Structure 1
Amino acid sequence: MAELLTHVLLAYAVFTVLGWYVEWIDDRWIAVGMVGSILPELNRLALVVPSGWVSSVLGVPFAWDGLHTVVGTALLSGIGALLFGSSTHRRRAFLVLFAGGLSHLIVDLPQRYADGKLLTNEYLFPLTTWRPPTPGWYVSADRWVLLLAVGVTLAILLLDRYRSWPSDAGSASTGTVPDRGQP
């Protein structure tokens, strides 16, 4: 559970910073990016619904592992984007969901694995089977990773709340928090 929270917190931090520079990324899109950051973890559905059971029901080979890849994340982002109304919102939703999923995959890259190699063969399947050595910075059960994510997120939250926005120069003197363009 700590690993999932880490991904969500880091996505919040990344999309909040992006919102400082991209006008349309407001709190709603930050939340969509946070949802995107958990898309690769949907491969954990295998704990509840085994792949063999799905294979027998569908009558075709099936594995949940494909969801924890770039292609699986793109597919889930596309499905999620269909839930949005206008074509502009669907395009933005795909982009933000996919970026959130990629942030998850990138954060997972430097983990320590038993064989000492990266999971790039799974991430980039079917393009490559290449597996370079991993830096092995952490194991997913390390608590310091979550503490680091909490610290980074709190710092970004405070910066977001109290920084002077270029379009809100007057609000800094009044002590109000800028609205960031929400309706």
Structure 2
Amino acid sequence: MAELLSHVLVAYALATVAKWSLEWFTERHVGVVMIGSLLPDLNRIDLFVSETTFESVLGVPFGLDAIHTLGGVVLLSAVGAMVVTTHHRRVFGLLLAGAVSHLILDAFKAYADGAADAWLYPITWIRHPTPNLYVSADPAVLGFTASVALLVWWGDYSQGN
């Protein structure tokens, strides 16, 4: 749970800083970017519903691992953009920005074999070496991201935004 919250806090900080320089960017847009940062972790729905259940309902082989890739988040962002009544392209871009921030942060995470996930699928299956900057379960990561988000919130609040 700490990693999921860290992704949301990083998306909040990045979107809020973007709001300072983009006139059209509002608090609603910040929220959409934060929702987008949750999209890659939708592959964890298998904690509640197994892939075999999806296969039996849909009648085709089904896997959730591709959700945590660039192709998966593009598809999920497109679906998310279709459910809004207006500004489909903008919502698509904002959801995708949040999701890509999630994927980029995960590219620096420590993995046991030293290689990150194949997050660039469908472009390539290559698993690049990761710098092993942090362990996702480390509480210090949440403390750092919360501190950064708090500083950004304070800066936004002091500007009167």
- TM-score of the alignment, normalized to the shorter chain, above 0.5: yes
Say which SS state the counterpart of residue 8 (structure 2) adopts: helix
Say which SS state the counterpart of residue 80 (structure 2) adopts: helix
Greater relative contact order (Cα 8 A, min sep 6): structure 1 or 2? 2
For this pair of structures, how many residues does the alignment match? 161
Distance 1:107 1:95 in 2: 18
- For residues 81-122 of structure 1, give each alpha carbon's deviation from its aligned partner in whole angstroms, at most 9, with x where no partner exists: 112112xx1111100000000011111111111111121x2x
Quote the offset at 1:60 in angstroms. Answer: 1.1
Distance 1:130 1:26 in 2: 37
Quote the offset at 1:132 in angstroms. Answer: 2.5
Who wins on radius of gyration, i.e. which is larger?
A: 1
Aligned CA-pair RMSD: 1.1
Match in the other structure for 1:19: 19
Quote the offset at 1:129 in angstroms. Answer: 2.4
The percent identity for this pair of structures is 48
Structure 1 segments of 4+ aligned residues over 4 angstroms from their partners: none
Equivalent residue for 1:146, pick from 127, 142, 145: 142
**Contiguous gaps of at least 5 residues in structure 1:** 164-176, 179-183
Find out whether 1:36 has 2:32 as its counterpart: no
Quote the offset at 1:125 in angstroms. Answer: 1.8
- The amino acid across from 1:34 in the alignment is M
Quote the offset at 1:127 in angstroms. Answer: 2.4
**Counterparts of residues 1-183 of structure 1 (less than 5 Å):** 1-86=1-86, 89-119=87-117, 121=118, 123-163=119-159, 177-178=160-161
**Contiguous gaps of at least 5 residues in structure 2:** none
Distance 2:68 2:32 in 1: 18
Q: TM-score of the superposition, structure 1-length normalised?
A: 0.84
Quote the offset at 1:33 in angstroms. Answer: 0.6
Say which SS state the counterpart of residue 60 (structure 1) adopts: coil
